[in-house]
Chains A and B, each alone.
Chain A
Amino acid sequence: MRSLLQDRLSRVAALRPVPASSARISGHSEGLPAAAEELARMVAATPLRNSHGECLSVRRWFDGHDCAPSLDSALGRLLPSVPPEALDPSEWLFLDTETTGLAGGTGTYAFLVGLAWWDAGGLEVEQLFLRDYSEEHAVLESLAARMAERRVLVTFNGRSFDWPLLETRYRMTRRIHASPPAAHLDLLHPARQLWRLKLGSVRLMELEQHVLGPLDWRREGDIPGALIPQAYFSYLRGGGPEALSQVFRHNQMDLRGLASLAARLVALLTDPGAATSDALELYGLSRLLERRGAPEDARRLFERALAAGLPEEADRAARRELARLAKRERDFDRATELWEDLLGETRDGLDAYEQLAIYFEHRARAPQRALELTRQALASLRAAWQCGRLPPAVYRRLRERLSRRLERLEGRAHARLPAPELFASSGASHASNRHPVSSAPAGAPSSARFGAKTG
């Protein structure tokens, strides 16, 4: 007869079986999960012992991964401050974990820790695996040892995911410590700046396909990332090793992709001109360089990207950015040329009207031309608004600024006064005082600054 507690438990909603995993649940036995040995054979793993017990380790060397020759100039463009260790490629440790979920918190485990480093013209990969939760301390201990050998962590989104998760795991042990890396290069953010426009998405897999070019390996028989936690859970509950062996391969491919991506990024940043001729890549690179405070290089690359032929929207954005850089360097010929190209009913086109009007009013001292441009700008603005191309807030802001300018210019025209000396020079002096504004937040529309000052 069932006990009252069992009877109650059977009715409790909190115990409703988890739909996805219920099928595979089998009886529990002490010791390692049933498929542990078979899995070790499939992935060619060997036991690894240390003072905290035993876990599995898989080691494999992959040919065809050259490390970047010189890291010096490239890293200066990736990191705000470059610790000396980071310049030494032998200090680089690539890391990618497979976890029991993406939710984070103390109940998410990293059951497979993948590591890799450049060695002998190729890539050495080591994977540390917990055959069961009880082996976590052994894995963490070995990971700490590897991290002490190589002090620079290189990850893809590891800054906000893998590393905090591992830090949590270390804290949960209360006795194993890993010294924090001397530097942590997370390639997600530079990759996003470089390639989002080109690819729309910057998942590692997309980058492998489209950025790294023909690879000697392909993701065949790969397991989708979303199924990885279930693969581990089902193995723990006595399921077979097949799905999990795919996870090992998935992790190896991620690490190889990560290393290739790092090499590619370093090459692009070391000598952008030589490394690519792809217009969108050049454009991405120029934006990255601009943000990292290299406006001259950025300007050169913008020009190259434009020359290589960008899609319409990117072309407009590149022209706008380039015009801004040219203006900042007081190259008004190039700036006005770019603005003229941009004129139209787009957002950039309307900004260009305004920029030109500012230029003609204050710099070229041609208020009549400025007045014409402002009128055209208002007409284009109305047209753009009527076609529903602008959000209401943008429309109102632009209309207000342009109307003020129009009023002032018209007032001046009526008074038949020449452009007042004082005003013009004050505008110019403002401009020269404020520039170079290299510290200004990137991407802030320059027109806003000018409009606010003169309007």
Chain B
Amino acid sequence: MTQSLVLRPSSSLESVRAVLEDLAARDHSGDRENSGLTALQHIPARPAEYAPMPDWVRPELAAAYTAKGVSQLYSHQAEAAETAHAGRNTVVVTPTASGKTLCYNLPILNAILEDSDTRALYLFPTKALAQDQLAELYDLARRLESPSEGQPFGVFTYDGDTPADARRAIRERGHIVLTNPDMLHTGILPHHTKWTRLFENLRYIVIDELHTCRGVFGSHLANVLRRLRRIARFYGSDPVFVCCSATIANPGSLAEQLLEAPVAVVDRNGAPAAEKYFAFWNPPVVNRFLGIRRSYINETCRVSREFLGRGLQTIVFANSRLHTELLLTYLQNDQRPAPGQPEPVRGYRGGYLPGERREIERGLRDGAIRGVVATNALELGIDIGTLDAVILAGYPGTIAATWQRSGRAGRRTGASCAVLVASSSPLDQFIVRHPGYFFSSPPEHAFIQPDNLEILLNHLKCAAFELPLDPGEKFGSADLPEICAHLERSGYLHRSGGCWHWTQEAYPADTVSLRSVTSDNFVIVNTAAGEDGEPEIIGEVDFPSALVIVHPKAIYLHQGQQYHVDRLDFDQRKAYVRPVNADYYTDAVRYTQVRVLDPAEEERVAGPAGRAHGDVLVRSQVVGFKKIKFWTNENVGAGQLELPENEMHTTAYWITLERALVESLPFSVSERQNGMLGLLYALESMAALLLMCDRRDLGTAIGERPPRPGSHAAVATSEPAEDAGARSVPKLRDAMPVQSQSPASPRGAREFFEPNLYLYDAYPGGIGFSQPLFDLHSSLLARARELVASCPCEQGCPSCVGPSPESGVRTKQVALAILDCLCG
């Protein structure tokens, strides 16, 4: 994979090269494919493509931009501004720091200057980004100020921090209102009559960082936008949407799904880029049998030191707050400030105060700060100037996020470098061992499911609160008359004068969070918190996870501290915990049963096997737990639990292994069972990779293929069931994240006749993963096979088919054998 280094003299280039050569030289493992520097990619510099300022731009606006140093546009800026100016919905897809904001500010400010009644709404996923934009717009307003008429437009942020007394002025005078989807949902739409001026004149809506609008959040946002367009129609306006996205595979279709309207895609980037190196670093293996590698956190530290030591300005991305703090501590230890000088390495994450963040951003721009350890808080478009190197501690989870983070180095000129240090998770291992996949694949698709019934209904309630629902209206694919009749029977709506009206005292938006499917959460109460001994709420878990994570006697991990769950109050939705120091963690034993309700598509494929997707009912129950010792993974105890059963209607994709395939496997019954579970583990990892989702977004289960659709599917058992009939209580290895390390050990397992391997959406109603997985069937299997085949472990490890339960079980071999059949 290593390419020839074409080097031009440049001090940063020399240093980058020196670091990389050092790293390569230090790699003595002899296993070049699997550890050390597994890839070094050179990305050549790209020149800028310019376009003139469009002639419709008013002279004073052009002059203001010229004064800022922008006298001509990059080609993509001109193209996007043109389509937006022409009144077409537009999505701009370009990498970090390519001047995206100009794409929408130019046509929108021009429209405001043409007609000062024009209003625009900007939606940013975070408050910090809105602040960043505010500064840019203030600057333009100042440049456009005339002595006689003052500033030509008003721009304000409107979010939870906006003081109540400022809100009225914003509603009346704000030409551009910067807010976030959550505020639009709870603060603006339910009070639209206070925003009459804005809605009557709403010509543009900007959605920045569109690629973050996927999964649950994106599905919610699509519904918020349905409500927004509905209100705009009520006031007689039909706004044009301008969206910006980092590079993903399907920006156009994502935008069209969100907006439910045609969208012009602008994706030919005209911004220049300097040359760059991208390196993959896999920590050396220390225990080959168990597949254990050196800690990637320590390795990240080591790599970061190389760059910092040569005076290269470096940003280190970690995937959690905890790791951010850990890395910061290590790096600050060896990068001591000179006496009287500020700390040269700083941390940056959510939870830091805004003032502190601004100071760090400034320090990075002017070079006073030499290194920063950050979470994804810095991933989104906050301006921190040009850095020399980006170190990623662990794969960020998606190709798109990886490119976006790496874009933090070498924004326009000079050479720069990005290094990915892999952890031992299957995703990380797959990526660093298959650099070709990463460098040649388009980034992931972003999927949403705006018609998820649970989500849609919640927004339909909000919509009815905002404006009575007319049965002739269209709200996604919803069958409005039938759903509204249901809502009427449940006491939410009342039909009068041909429309449905809201009949509740409560304000529905308050109970609908855009970040989860149901608002049903358990709170975790630490009964021995603080010095004052007052109980303190330390966290929340959503309903589906609660029974698995905070069942009675569970060890709950929070910010690195262990807590023992003393009591789970199911009715009050509270888990009472206290801090403990235990040498074990707990692993819930969960029965999961999947029943196929309605297959949407089915097909026979190689194997012989079948693939299908459709509606399923997932019933699960936590029946007990195991205590697993840290480090050794020994089972040191168990317990029984009596908890309510949880039922969820969702969507799934599944593979059916036909009898002929199962029988062709030259392994024992228990080995086959283990192999199927291992295969499912690998499939889940690769599905998360292909879907651009979190592993927790998917659940897995195995069950006997039902004789015909709609009937019961039996499920994998770990103990022989009393009878083999349809009523047997099934049992399955749990698929929730906390338990993913646990060994699957179905001893004495009953053989499946024709098993179904299910991958289901872990949210009620489904979130849109099943059909894409069905479509991606062959590529999913190919990836899984690559993952398992290339893993250097012997019996299976957490990086491929899951941890090996005990020696002599050929999990990995069975999984590979099945994959060979399926891929054949």
Q: 1/0 per position for A227-267, CB-CB distance to B under 8 A?
A: 00110010011000000000000000000000000000000
B492 at the interface (CB under 8 A from A): yes
B479 at the interface (CB under 8 A from A): yes
A103 touches B507 (CB 8 A): yes
Min distance, Cβ A164 to any Cβ of chain B, angstroms: 9
Residues of B within 8 A of A119 (CB): none
B window 472-517: CB within 8 A of A = 479, 482-483, 485-492, 494-499, 501-508
Least CB separation from A171: chain B residue: B193
From A5, A12, A109, B764 is in contact (CB under 8 Å) with A12
State A18–B647 Cα separation when bound (angstroms): 21
A106 touches B505 (CB 8 A): no
Binds B, one of A20-28, A206-214, A403-411: A20-28
State A16–B458 Cα separation when bound (angstroms): 11
Question: Given known contacts A14-B458, A15-B490, what 10 new A-B pairs fall within 8 Å (CB)?
Answer: A12-B453, A12-B765, A17-B489, A17-B491, A28-B488, A28-B495, A100-B505, A133-B494, A172-B193, A236-B503
B193 touches A14 (CB 8 A): no
State A237–B491 Cα separation when bound (angstroms): 9
19 interchain pairs (CB within 8 A)? Answer: A4-B615, A5-B482, A8-B615, A9-B453, A11-B764, A12-B764, A12-B765, A25-B489, A25-B490, A28-B485, A101-B507, A106-B192, A106-B193, A107-B466, A107-B507, A134-B497, A229-B505, A233-B494, A237-B503
State A371–B490 Cα separation when bound (angstroms): 75
**A8-B649, A100-B505 given as contacts; is B458 within 8 A of A236 (CB)?**
no
From A8, A9, A103, A167, B193 is in contact (CB under 8 Å) with A167
Min distance, Cβ A208 to any Cβ of chain B, angstroms: 25
A348 at the interface (CB under 8 A from B): no
State A174–B236 Cα separation when bound (angstroms): 11
User: Taking each of A11, A168, A233, which has the highest tally of chain B beta carbons within 10 Å of its own beta carbon?
Assistant: A11
State A256–B190 Cα separation when bound (angstroms): 33
Residues of B within 8 A of A13 (CB): 454, 518, 520, 764
Least CB separation from B518: chain A residue: A13
Residues of A within 8 A of B597 (CB): 4, 7
From B457, B466, B598, A15 is in contact (CB under 8 Å) with B457
**A9-B486, A14-B454, A21-B491 given as contacts; is B505 within 8 A of A103 (CB)?**
yes
Residues of A within 8 A of B483 (CB): 5, 9
A132 at the interface (CB under 8 A from B): yes
Least CB separation from B508: chain A residue: A107
State A97–B647 Cα separation when bound (angstroms): 45
B487 touches A15 (CB 8 A): yes
B507 touches A18 (CB 8 A): no
B81 at the interface (CB under 8 A from A): no
A18 touches B490 (CB 8 A): yes
A12 touches B505 (CB 8 A): no
Of all A-B residue pairs in the complex, the 9 with the closest CB atoms, nearest first, are A134-B497, A107-B465, A101-B505, A171-B193, A107-B502, A133-B496, A103-B507, A14-B457, A18-B491
Least CB separation from B467: chain A residue: A106
B154 at the interface (CB under 8 A from A): no
State A25–B490 Cα separation when bound (angstroms): 8
A79 at the interface (CB under 8 A from B): no
A379 at the interface (CB under 8 A from B): no
A102 at the interface (CB under 8 A from B): yes
State A171–B231 Cα separation when bound (angstroms): 13
Least CB separation from B461: chain A residue: A14
State A13–B650 Cα separation when bound (angstroms): 13
Min distance, Cβ A256 to any Cβ of chain B, angstroms: 26
A105 at the interface (CB under 8 A from B): yes
Residues of B within 8 A of A17 (CB): 489-491
State A22–B488 Cα separation when bound (angstroms): 10
A105 touches B465 (CB 8 A): yes
Min distance, Cβ B520 to any Cβ of chain A, angstroms: 6
Q: 1/0 per position for A65-109, CB-CB distance to B under 8 A?
A: 000000000000000000000000000000000001111111101
B190 touches A106 (CB 8 A): yes
Residues of A within 8 A of B302 (CB): none
Min distance, Cβ A20 to any Cβ of chain B, angstroms: 8
B window 730-777: CB within 8 A of A = 764-765
B window 158-215: CB within 8 A of A = 190-194, 196
Min distance, Cβ B370 to any Cβ of chain A, angstroms: 41
B464 at the interface (CB under 8 A from A): yes
A window 1-57: CB within 8 A of B = 4-9, 11-18, 21-22, 25, 28
Chain A interface (Cβ < 8 Å from any Cβ of B): 4-9, 11-18, 21-22, 25, 28, 100-107, 109, 132-134, 167-168, 171-172, 174, 229-230, 233, 236-237
State A172–B231 Cα separation when bound (angstroms): 11
Count: A-B pairs, CB below 8 Å: 121
**A9-B453, A13-B520 given as contacts; is B487 within 8 A of A107 (CB)?**
no
B468 at the interface (CB under 8 A from A): yes
Least CB separation from B492: chain A residue: A18
Least CB separation from B456: chain A residue: A14
Min distance, Cβ A166 to any Cβ of chain B, angstroms: 11
**A14-B461, A171-B193 given as contacts; is B491 within 8 A of A8 (CB)?**
no
**A15-B490, A168-B193 given as contacts; is B504 within 8 A of A106 (CB)?**
no
State A19–B520 Cα separation when bound (angstroms): 16
A105 touches B191 (CB 8 A): yes
State A135–B773 Cα separation when bound (angstroms): 51
**A11-B647, A103-B507, A105-B190 given as contacts; is B196 within 8 A of A16 (CB)?**
no
B461 touches A100 (CB 8 A): no
**A103-B505, A106-B190, A229-B505 given as contacts; is B490 within 8 A of A16 (CB)?**
yes
Min distance, Cβ A152 to any Cβ of chain B, angstroms: 24
State A18–B497 Cα separation when bound (angstroms): 23
**A106-B465, A167-B193 given as contacts; is B486 within 8 A of A15 (CB)?**
yes
**A100-B503, A133-B497, A172-B193 given as contacts; is B479 within 8 A of A106 (CB)?**
no
Min distance, Cβ A9 to any Cβ of chain B, angstroms: 5
User: Taking each of A13, A25, A28, which has the highest tally of chain B beta carbons within 10 Å of its own beta carbon?
Assistant: A13
Least CB separation from B483: chain A residue: A9
Least CB separation from B517: chain A residue: A13
Residues of B within 8 A of A9 (CB): 453, 482-483, 486
Residues of B within 8 A of A8 (CB): 453, 615, 649, 765
Residues of B within 8 A of A132 (CB): 496-497
Residues of B within 8 A of A133 (CB): 468, 494, 496-497, 499, 501
Residues of B within 8 A of A106 (CB): 190-193, 465-467
Residues of A within 8 A of B499 (CB): 133
Residues of B within 8 A of A168 (CB): 193-194
Residues of B within 8 A of A22 (CB): 490-491
B window 388-430: CB within 8 A of A = none
Residues of A within 8 A of B615 (CB): 4, 8
Residues of B within 8 A of A101 (CB): 504-507
Least CB separation from A10: chain B residue: B486
**A5-B482, A103-B507 given as contacts; is B502 within 8 A of A236 (CB)?**
no
Min distance, Cβ B540 to any Cβ of chain A, angstroms: 17
Min distance, Cβ A64 to any Cβ of chain B, angstroms: 35
Residues of A within 8 A of B488 (CB): 28
Residues of A within 8 A of B489 (CB): 17, 25
Residues of B within 8 A of A236 (CB): 494, 496, 503
B464 touches A107 (CB 8 A): yes
Residues of A within 8 A of B598 (CB): 4
Residues of A within 8 A of B506 (CB): 101, 103
B503 touches A233 (CB 8 A): yes
State A103–B191 Cα separation when bound (angstroms): 11
Residues of A within 8 A of B461 (CB): 14
Residues of B within 8 A of A5 (CB): 479, 482-483
Residues of A within 8 A of B490 (CB): 15-18, 22, 25
A12 touches B190 (CB 8 A): no
State A13–B504 Cα separation when bound (angstroms): 17
Residues of A within 8 A of B482 (CB): 5-6, 9
Min distance, Cβ A397 to any Cβ of chain B, angstroms: 26
State A236–B500 Cα separation when bound (angstroms): 12
